[in-house]
Amino acid sequence: MTIEQAIVEAARREGFVLVGFARLRRLDRRAEFYHRWLDANRHADMAWLARDPERRFDPRVLDSRLRSVVSLAYPYVQPAPPAVDWRAELRGRIAAYAFGLDYHDRVLKKSQSIAGLIAAMRPGAVTRNYVDTGPVFEREWAAESGLGWMGKNTNLLNREQGSYFFLSEIFTDIELEPNREPYSDHCGTCRRCLDLCPTGALADGFVMDARLCISYLTIENRGSIDPELRPKLGNWIFGCDICQQVCPWNDPHAAAGAEELAPRLPELLALDDDGFRRRYGKSAVKRAKRRGLLRNVCVALGNSGNPDAVAPLIRALESEPEAIVRAHAAWALGRLGGCAARAALDRRSSREPDTEVSREIKLALGEMRANG
């Protein structure tokens, strides 16, 4: 058995559905695209993406001994949220990849098992594992390894597996033989992901603008969400699956509803630090932190149009310690309107210590006056 065959068999046992190999080289075409993307500030506030980009173009900058990459794809379930009226039941929406325990730990452990096999077969071999944890062009190396093609939604797509999978890479100094032919593009003239993105984050030419992406806005963004974008978030409170859901290469018949992906918004808004850690401490949702998640919850409640959302928002405005949560609660109350919301905003306006929250209260009251 060759080392390539042994890696494939071990990867299958660990649950990886796709395995491919590629020789390392500098990704010159991707480097040109990436520099243009950075120059246009499409990486938003994710400063680490612009830090020493040469490491991303050529993994050998990280370690000159590296020669090959093992690219792995680990599937995750595409569970549909409960079939309910989210506005009536005040439920949020969480991206499917965050279902269950944090994928970083789960998939990395499996990838490290494969690296252990390589070390056992080739004593002294160099291996470096990644699962969304370093300066690596994961999708590009997966495409180089024949796992799929870059879709218009900027996800890696595979004709059999769609795009609901996590990627992992093992870079090594062993020269592995490629085992898959390169994938051709199968998006064709389809534009569903581009046309159905609520915020217009996707554009022709495989361009994704993080400043408009719901996943960025609800996870990586640490500040205020642009008021013009808030209504477009709907009830997404962590991530977004729309550009995958509408892709014809993904199975439209998702698994049974998952309550975890449609939590009750008032319950989340009542979480204190301990409650947040108990509920999401081992989940990918912890990435947003409590203040980020509750900020998103306020936006979703404001988008619900449901008067039942007013009471929990008033409690947040009056007692929430995080200013950013109070600010978005003020916006949501202004959007929902009503006597109770206006009275709460008036009360808070005279004693709010934070300048940004005071500005949001003033804008909310102004919107309510304008709407009569």
Would residue 132 show up in a list of annotated catalytic residues for this protein? yes
**Helix (H, G, I), strand (E, B), or coil: what is residue 68?**
strand
Alpha carbons 315 and 270: distance in angstroms, whole number: 9
Query: Within 10 A of 89 (CB to CB), how many other CB atoms are there?
Result: 14
Which residues, 6+ apart, have CB-to-CB distance to 3 below 8 Å? 118, 121, 122, 174, 176
Please check whether residue 140 is in contact with residue 168, taking contact to mean a CB–CB distance below 8 angstroms.
no
* CB-based contact 279:288 (threshold 8 Å): no
What pairing do the DSSP bridges indicate for beta strands 165-172 and 68-75? Answer: antiparallel
How many C-beta atoms lie closer than 10 Å to residue 202's C-beta? 24
Residue 57 makes CB contacts below 8 A (sequence gap 6+) with 26, 27, 28, 30, 31, 34, 137
Residue of 45, 58, 132, 354 marked active site:
132
Query: Can you tell me the distance from the alpha carbon of 161 to that of 64, in angstroms, rounded to the nearest whole number?
Result: 33
Tokens read off for 192? 């569903």
Residue 331 token pair: 């916006």
Distance CA 49, CA 214 (A): 18
d(C-alpha 297, C-alpha 280), whole Å: 15
CB atoms within 10 A of CB 231: 12
Which residue, 27, 20, 23, is CA-closest to 158? Answer: 20
Q: What is the DSSP string of 122-177?
A: STT--EEEESS-SS--HHHHHHHTTS-EE-TTSSEEBTTTBT-EEEEEEEESS-PP
Please identify every residue annotated as catalytic.
Answer: 132
